Every structure is written in structure tokens, then in C-alpha cells.
Amino acid sequence: MEKRQITLKDIARALSLSTSTVSRSLKDHPDISRETKDRVRKFADEHRYKPNALALGLRTNKNKTIGVIIPEIVHYFFSSVLSGMQEEAEKEDYSLIICQSNEDYNREIKVTRTLLSAHVCGVLASVSKTTTTFDHYQEILDNEIPLVFFDRICTGINTDRVVVDDYTGTFNAVNHLIQTGCKRIAFLGAPTHLTISNNRRMGYEDALRKNGIQVEPSLMPICDTILLAGEIVHRLLNLTDRPDAIFAINDEVAAYCIRKIKASGFRIPEDISVCGFSNSYISEATDPGLTTVDQHGFEVGTTAMRLLIDRLNGEEKKEGCVSKIIKTRLVVRESTK
Amino acid sequence: MEKRQITLKDIARALSLSTSTVSRSLKDHPDISRETKDRVRKFADEHRYKPNALALGLRTNKNKTIGVIIPEIVHYFFSSVLSGMQEEAEKEDYSLIICQSNEDYNREIKVTRTLLSAHVCGVLASVSKTTTTFDHYQEILDNEIPLVFFDRICTGINTDRVVVDDYTGTFNAVNHLIQTGCKRIAFLGAPTHLTISNNRRMGYEDALRKNGIQVEPSLMPICDTILLAGEIVHRLLNLTDRPDAIFAINDEVAAYCIRKIKASGFRIPEDISVCGFSNSYISEATDPGLTTVDQHGFEVGTTAMRLLIDRLNGEEKKEGCVSKIIKTRLVVRESTK
DNA sequence: TTGAAAGCGCTAACAC
DNA sequence: GTGTTAGCGCTTTCAA
């Protein structure tokens, strides 16, 4: 039971060798004799020698670590993404340093400095809702650290990126609502400065237009939290020309709608259909079960990590920036006809 | 736009000083003249000098990084815990390396090696469901790396720990069911080799006994996943002496029960009360709203991290191991009377 | 086939 | 008040 990690020097001393010989032995360098290699390997194993990642890192200025900047961990989608990144990183023995911006711009800046200082090999980032300038991301690139955006990308900076197909996902969902007989479809959206919100909005509008339905701004409030939903849903239900379907930008709001609609005496989906976005655990807990758009968070995570690692391995050196689009999938449950 | 992180040496050369003077200036050492300090600080700021964490780490064999071993990130409770850890760690400029065991023993072993090799300052861990031997955790301690268990602790190893008050949480919940008139209360539990399951089970049994109700093994199946729930809930509902309440070990199973019970034509809570455990997002999405036990995951995270950091700061050097218990809170919604 | 020495960026003990 | 030097653990010339 040793009290300290054993080092190359310890092995060298114990075996009357030099540290360089030990080093070479352990990485199976051809110059070293079979015999020496075996002695070293044996001793190392017995004493549970583990290379000091810090020392390794100092030489190369790289430490087999990847930084992740994520808005909020406590979120079905983001935690799924994280899980995917973990899995993919592990395959190549990368560790993950995870930083939460908490949707706060200043915090985002702070964590970029942390990651830079930690000398991570690369960074995966999803920008916070409150971020509007992007110098801190540019700084990562200026330090020649590969950067891949996922989900919430930053259009002003030219990097690899992985996005969910928000447009098509929403288009298909709204189209499904229309195909099943809905004509007045409300869209509960998120603030418009995020690309993802806009893409979803466009998917919604295009689905309406394609089916010859007029787009009505009054049916498209900003409503991405339960807090906001309270008043807004109430208003929508009391409209003389009440909507016969609600598309909500996330499952939480959709679940809230379901309860509110039922409490107001309407039936789902007969009177009003409801569709969410995420396919989180929530969508199986509502009554009726929630029709929703699966974002494949895990796949977003693995894909982003793979892209980054390929860059690090130099396999994508020459080509320009690549954008990967992860397909969504409409999961039809009982909240739509 | 520099292409490389600037180092102390660069600053020293540029200002015709020695690296040590620069080093001291930047940490406001009293020996250095005001003037020199200002010159150094100015140059450093202008060139965005950031200390190289790797080099720092190599000297002390510590890298201001804490390893977290967590069963599954995609879980309301665990992601809350993670979030709390993040927040607390950031206060003291620690970074987090997060490893997922995926409830797999072998993976758990692998990640401990990773953390050891990364030379983290400390480790926070929650053991996987499939783990039954604990040598790998002992090895962390043998390397004199402080270890704090959270939630799923390992009783065989003597360390600091933070647990949720599963016993009292369950006791109070079951007591609430009894107080509101329930007499035959089913307990859908988890496999018994986890301490937390046992504590919850004991809380359940004691609440029954205290109220003079007999404990019936037939009402206490192992049922911690929706998969298992299918058959089990069906059986319970068809018992001649049908339960009038169900306590489920997690919100997912509780939500499933709610749907199944309603589908079978029973009313909630009039015919059957349902109580969950976690107070995850799900509990607001069910209909009726789910009464559940809040585990305060965020607080578990901050507390565990605080405990660890205090150890690292040597503030808790002498004392034996401390156990912190995070109180639960019964959140009464509409699924109980 | 092996060893000696330098160097990655930083700090601290010891000069001056 | 500032500089010199050694050393953290490892790899990699270069020399033997």
C-alpha cells in the first residue's frame, strides 16, 4: 500500500536503470532489450505505475482533456448530450471538463478562461441564451484550440458544428397536426435571437403555408417557460377563435398545456391537439401521452465529440468547417389525433 | 492575435526581467516594487497571460481538479447533484472531471484509474448498482486522495459521505398516506443491496408499524423500472384485497402507476393514492400532480463538494469522517388525499 | 542497448 | 528588490 504514485525515477532507481530506459521500455521502444523491458514492465505492474498525466501534458501543452461549455446540466436534452460526449471521449481516453454557464454571459466568459488555463485540447460549446458577443469564443480559436459548437451555435464564428434539425422537426410535427385535421395551430416559441428558435418558427410557418393556412402572429407568443405559459395559455383558450392545436417549444410547456386544457374542460386531442419538443421523460408521464419531437441528444453528443477528436487527430486538417445535422424524429403518442 | 499562450518567460524577456520576478509580481509578492509590478501586470493583461495550469499542477502534483464518478448523468437527481457540485467548485476555482459509470462495475474501475492518472485533488463518487467490491475506491484513498461518497455510499470504506435522508423521507411520505386514510400501502422498491433502498424500505415498514399496520411482503415487490412495473402494477390492481395506495421508489414508476391506475378505471386519489420519490420535472406533468419526496439533489452536490474542499484545505484534518444527511421534503400534490 | 542532459512552465529557497 | 538555480515527471535528442 504505497502512499504516493510511483514515478519513472522510482522504477529506474529500483532497477538500476536510467529514467530514459524505463520510459522507452514502457512504450515498447525497439531499441530496448527484451529482458530489460520485461523487468521494467513487471516492476511497473507490481507497483501500479501510472504515467503522470500532468507531466505528459506539460511537455506537449496538451492534456488529453476536452472542455465542455453547456448552458444547464439539469435538462433532459443537455444531459443526454453530455452522456453521448462522455461515451465517445472515453473511447479515445479523453477526459471531460464540464462547465456550466447557467445561461449567463459573464459566467460563460469566465469558464472559457478556465478552459484556456487548463490547456484543454479542444472545446465543445453551446452558447447561453444571454450571450450576444462572441470574442471569448474567438479567443479559444486564436489559441489554436479546436472548437465545435453543438445545438446552440454561433453563426458569426466559423467552426465545426452539430445542430439538431429543428426546422424539419417542427415542420413535420406541424404538418402532422394539419394532416390530422387541425387548422388553427398556436406556436409557443422561444426568444428570437437564438438560431434554434428561429429555425423552429420557420418550420412552423412553412408547414402552415404549404398547407394554405395563414400565419397569424397572435398565435405565436414567446412562451418557453411554465411561468410565461400561465397567462398565455389562458388567453389562447379564451379566444373566440380558439386554436385547435398547440405546438410547444419544449415538453415542460407542452405538459403544462395539457393540464391547463383539461382543467378548462376541453378534451385532448379531440378538441385540442398538443405537441412538444424533446421527447424527455416527461412525455411519457402526461395524460394523454405527449406527441413530441425527439432531438436525439445522445447522438448530438457523440457526433460533436467525434468531430472534435477527428480534428485533433488531424484527420480533418485541410477541409473547411463541417456542419452536421442530426435528424429529429416525430414520436406520436396520444396528445394528437 | 497570438498563436500560442504567452508564458512567464515571454514576459520576462520582453521586460528584461527574470521569470521569478515576473512570477512574484503577478502574485503581488511584497518584495517587488510597485513600479515593476505595474509594468508586469500591464504587459500580462495586454497579452492575455494565463497561468499554465499543467505546470502548476506538476509542481504540486495537484491540478485544482476534482473527479466525479456518477452512475448516470441523464437523471434528474444526479444532474441536479452535478449542478450543485459545479457551483460550489467554481467558488474555489476547481474544475470538474466527470465520469459516468453507467451503472457498470468494470467501467467504474476504469474511471478510477483515469482519475488517478489525471492526478485529481479529490474524488466524489456514487457507487453503481452493479458494484459489490470496493478495492478501486480503497486505491484512491491509498494514494492519499480524499474521497467523499454521495447518495450511494459504500459502507465498507471509511470516508466522508453525504446521504439523503431516505429513511425519514419515506417514513413521512408513508405516514402521510396513512394519515389521509390509506390502509393497504404497496411499496415498489429497488434491489436490496443498495443502502438507499434498504433505508427507504425500513422507513416504509416503520411507518406502517407505528400506525399498527401489518407489513405484508406481497405488497413489497422489487419494481424500480417501468419495464418491471407493467406486470407488477397489473397484479396489484387485480388483487382481491387491492391496495389503496402505492409508494414508488422513483417518479418514473409513480407516473406509470398513475396512468395504469386511471386506465383500469380507478380514481386518484379517491380509490388509490400514489406517491413518488425525487420531485423531478415529471411530478408536475402527471395528472393529477404527483405527491413526491424532494431529495434536494443540488444541496447534496454543494454539500459533498464543500466537504471535499474543506478536507483539501486541511480544515478537517484531524477529525474522523463526517457524515452529512440532507433532509428530504414531502411535496404534497394531488395524487394523494 | 543504454545513459546523460535539456526542456516543457512554474515556484521557491537561496543568493546578492 | 531582483536574479539564479533546482526541481516537479516525463520525453527526446545526442552521445557512448
Rounded Cα distance between B10 and B47, Å, is 10
Reported confidence tier of residue A334, pLDDT bands at 50, 70, 90 = very high
Min CA distance, B253 vs chain A (Å)? 9
Q: Taking the CA of residue B244 as centre, how many other CA atoms within 13 Å lie in the half-sphere pointing to its CB?
A: 11
A75 contacts in chain B (CB < 8 Å): 79
Residue to substitute from A73, A75, A119, A299, interface B, most B β-carbons within 10 A: A73
Rounded Cα distance between A108 and A99, Å, is 9
In the numeric block, the cell 390509506 is attached to B182
- Cβ neighbors of A83 (< 8 A, separation 6 or more) are A297, A298, A301, B72, B73, B74, B100
Residue to substitute from B73, B226, B295, interface A, most A β-carbons within 10 A: B73
pLDDT number for residue B1: 35
Instruction: Output the average pLDDT for chain A.
Output: 92
Which among B74, B97, B289 has the least Cβ separation from residue A83?
A: B74
Locate A237 and state its grid cell: 383558450
Mean pLDDT score, A197-217: 95
Question: Could you say which nucleotides of strand D lie within 7 A of any protein CB atom?
Answer: 1-5, 7-13
pLDDT number for residue A305: 97
Rounded Cα distance between B287 and B295, Å, is 21
Q: In chain B, positions 184-243, which contact chain A (CB-CB < 8 Å)? A: 226
Residue to substitute from B48, B49, B95, B227, interface A, most A β-carbons within 10 A: B95
Greater confidence, B314 or A162?
A162
Mean pLDDT score, A318-322: 79
Rounded Cα distance between B106 and B101, Å, is 8
- Burial of B122-154, coded b for 16+ CB within 10 Å and e otherwise, reads bbbbbbbbbbeeeebbbbbeebebbbbbbbbbb
pLDDT number for residue B301: 98
Q: Do A61 and B52 touch (CB under 8 A)?
A: yes
- Cβ neighbors of A262 (< 8 A, separation 6 or more) are A268, B287
Which DSSP string do the residues of A162-229 spell out, in sequence order? EEE-HHHHHHHHHHHHHHTT--SEEEEB--TTSHHHHHHHHHHHHHHHHTT----GGG--B--SHHHH
A10 CA – C14 C1', rounded, Å: 28
Which residues lie across from B162 on neighbouring strands? B150, B324
Does residue A2 surpass a pLDDT of 50?
no
Count of residues in chain A: 337
Q: In chain B, which residues have pLDDT < 70?
A: 1-4, 315-318
Question: Could you say which nucleotides of strand C lie within 7 A of any protein CB atom?
Answer: 1-5, 7-13
Which among B87, B97, B286 has the least Cβ separation from residue A95?
A: B97
B60 CA – D4 C1', rounded, Å: 22
* Nucleotide minimizing C1' to CA distance for residue B36: D1
A52 CA – D1 C1', rounded, Å: 37
A26 CA – D11 C1', rounded, Å: 12
pLDDT number for residue A28: 87
Strand A147-150 and strand A160-164: the pairing is parallel
Count of CB atoms within 10 A of residue A270's CB?
9
Reported confidence tier of residue A315, pLDDT bands at 50, 70, 90 = low
pLDDT number for residue B31: 87
Which among A5, A74, A256 has the least Cβ separation from residue B79?
A: A74
Which among A87, A95, A287 has the least Cβ separation from residue B287?
A: A287
Contact between B36 and B25 (Cβ < 8 Å): yes
Locate A241 and state its grid cell: 377563435
Does residue A313 surpass a pLDDT of 90?
no
In the DSSP assignment, the letter for residue B315 is T
Q: In chain A, positions 113-172, which contact chain B (CB-CB < 8 Å)? A: 113-114, 116-119, 139, 142-144
Helices assigned H by DSSP within B47-143? 53-60, 76-91, 105-118, 135-142
Min CA distance, B218 vs chain A (Å)? 26
Q: What letter represents residue B121's amino acid? A: C
Q: What's phi and psi for A14, nearest 5 deg?
A: -60, -35
Q: Do A54 and B252 touch (CB under 8 A)?
A: no
Decide: helix, strand or coil at residue B271. Answer: coil
Q: Do B83 and A72 touch (CB under 8 A)?
A: yes
- On whether the pTM is more than 0.95, the answer is no
Q: Quick one: which of A132, A78, A123, A125 has its CA closest to A105?
A: A132
Rounded Cα distance between A300 and A298, Å, is 5
Rounded Cα distance between A151 and A168, Å, is 14
Q: Which region among A17-31, A174-188, A201-215, A233-247 has the lowest average model confidence (pLDDT)? A: A17-31
Rg of chain B, C-alpha, whole Å: 26
Alpha carbon separation from A132 to A108, A195, B11, B257 (Å, rounded): 11, 12, 33, 45
Q: Quick one: which of A82, A85, A136, A149 has its CA closest to A106?
A: A136
In the numeric block, the cell 478562461 is attached to A113
**Most confident option among A127-141, A244-258, B131-145:** A244-258
Share of chain A above pLDDT 70, in %: 98
- Cβ neighbors of B174 (< 8 A, separation 6 or more) are B185, B187, B203, B204, B207, B208, B247, B275
- What CA dihedral angle connects B216, B222, B226 and B228, to 10 degrees? -100
Reported confidence tier of residue A302, pLDDT bands at 50, 70, 90 = very high
Tell whether B70 lies on the interface with A, counting CB pairs under 8 A.
no
Mean pLDDT score, A66-94: 94
Min CA distance, A228 vs chain B (Å)? 16
Helices assigned H by DSSP within chain A? 8-15, 19-26, 34-46, 53-60, 76-91, 105-118, 135-142, 166-179, 195-210, 226-237, 251-263, 297-312
Count of CB atoms within 10 A of residue A220's CB?
17
* Nucleotide minimizing C1' to CA distance for residue B56: C10
Closest residue to C12 (CA to C1') is: B20
Helix (H) / strand (E) element for B70: namely: strand B65-70
Helices assigned H by DSSP within A100-163? 105-118, 135-142
Contact between B126 and B159 (Cβ < 8 Å): no
Tell whether B29 lies on the interface with A, counting CB pairs under 8 A.
no
* Nucleotide minimizing C1' to CA distance for residue A24: D11
* Nucleotide minimizing C1' to CA distance for residue A60: C8
Alpha carbon separation from B229 to A290, B187, B200, B249, B308 (Å, rounded): 20, 12, 18, 11, 38
Reported confidence tier of residue A63, pLDDT bands at 50, 70, 90 = confident
Q: Quick one: which of B131, B154, B166, B161 has its CA closest to B250?
A: B166
pLDDT number for residue A317: 63
Helices assigned H by DSSP within B143-248? 166-179, 195-210, 226-237
